[in-house]
Structure 1
C-alpha cells in the first residue's frame, strides 16, 4: 500500500527524495549553463554603450488643486 504518503514504506520515501534532489540538480545545471551560454550578445555589446548627455534644464509645474469660483 504505497499509494499514500502516510502508509508508504521507507523505500518509497527514499525514491521521492532522490527524484526531488535530481530535479533540483537538473534545474541548477540548466541555470548555470544558461548564464554561460552565448547567444550572439557579444556582437551587440562589442559596439560599446551609448552615452546620453543631459540637455538644458526644464521647468515643469503641476497644478493639482481645486479651483473655487
Structure 2
C-alpha cells in the first residue's frame, strides 16, 4: 500500500482515476434522477408597465472639482 501520492505506482494512479470517474457518474446519475418532472410548477410571463417618470432635482452629495 502506498501512503504517498508522489511515490505511488501507475496502478495506484489508475485506481484513483477510476474511482473518481465512478463517483462522478454516480453524482451525475443522482442529479438526473432527482429532477422534478411535475408540470404543476409552470412559470407564467407577467407584464410590468412603467409608471410615471420621476425627476431627481436635489442631491446631498458634495461636488469636488
User: Which TM bucket (shorter chain)?
Assistant: 0.5 to 0.7
Q: In the TM superposition, what are the counterparts of 1:22-37 in structure 2 within 5 Å? A: 22-31=22-31, 33=32, 37=35
Runs of 4 or more off by more than 4 Å in structure 1?
none
TM-score, scaled to structure 1: 0.59
**What secondary structure, in the 3-state scheme, does the structure 2 residue paired with 1:58 have?**
coil
More RCO (CA 8 Å, sep 6+): 2
Aligned residues: 62
Give unmatched runs, 5+ long, in structure 1. Answer: none
Take 2:51 and 2:14, find their aligned partners in 1: how far apart are those partners?
Answer: 65
Give unmatched runs, 5+ long, in structure 2. Answer: none
- RMSD of equivalent CA atoms: 2.8
